[in-house]
Amino acid sequence: MSLVIGLKGRAETVVTDQNTAAAAGSGLVPVFATPWMVALMEHAAVDATAGCLSEGEGTVGTRLDITHDAATPIGMKVWAEAELTEINGKALTFSVVAYDESGLIGKGVHGRFIIAVDRFLAKAEKKREVR
């Protein structure tokens, strides 16, 4: 299977004490944290590309432009959906949306880049040599 416009992915979780704004340090209230919504959106985008990349390839997040429009309390299910909307060489663009059991909680655009995992990690490790 190859990457094509329209590929879709999904990720879901339940809001717990561990993924609230209070626990993440992104706020003081016990509701689903924006950083966790971002992670869920990224997970959905990764899921959309599952099985479509060559062996040894992966993707890394490069850009996010999202809104978090509604709070979700502890105990509710939340999920994110991603749809591949643009392929520009190794650059991928996704439309991302997040929902809870009551409706839409966030939306936006997410960019990812296809990488050769070994090369990417070797380049990251070279940063240790600069210190």
Q: Give 99-118 pLDDT, tens digit per residue.
A: 999 999 999 999 999 999 99
Whether 43 is catalytic: no
How far is residue 98's CA from residue 82's CA, in Å, rounded to a whole number?
9
Q: Which of 20, 42, 59, 110 is catalytic?
A: 42
SS3 category, 112: strand
Q: 80 and 97 in contact (C-beta within 8 Å)?
A: yes
Which CATH fold topology does 7-129 show? Thiol Ester Dehydrase; Chain A (3.10.129)
**33-42: per-residue pLDDT in tens?**
999 999 999 9
112 annotated to a ligand binding site? yes
Check residue 55 and give left, alpha or beta (phi > 0: left; psi -120 to 50: alpha). Answer: beta
119 annotated to a ligand binding site? no
Q: What is the pTM of this model?
A: 0.94
- Which residues, listed in sequence order, are joined to residue 58 by a DSSP beta bridge? 115
pLDDT over 70 at 131, yes or no: no
> In whole numbers, what is the pLDDT of the chain averaged over residues?
96
How many Cα atoms occupy the beta-carbon half-sphere of 75 within 13 Å?
Answer: 1
Q: Which of 12, 13, 34, 85 is catalytic?
A: 34
Q: Which of 43, 68, 72, 110 is catalytic?
A: 68
pLDDT over 70 at 44, yes or no: yes
Query: Mean per-residue pLDDT for 60-74?
Result: 98
Question: What single-letter amino acid sits at 120?
Answer: F
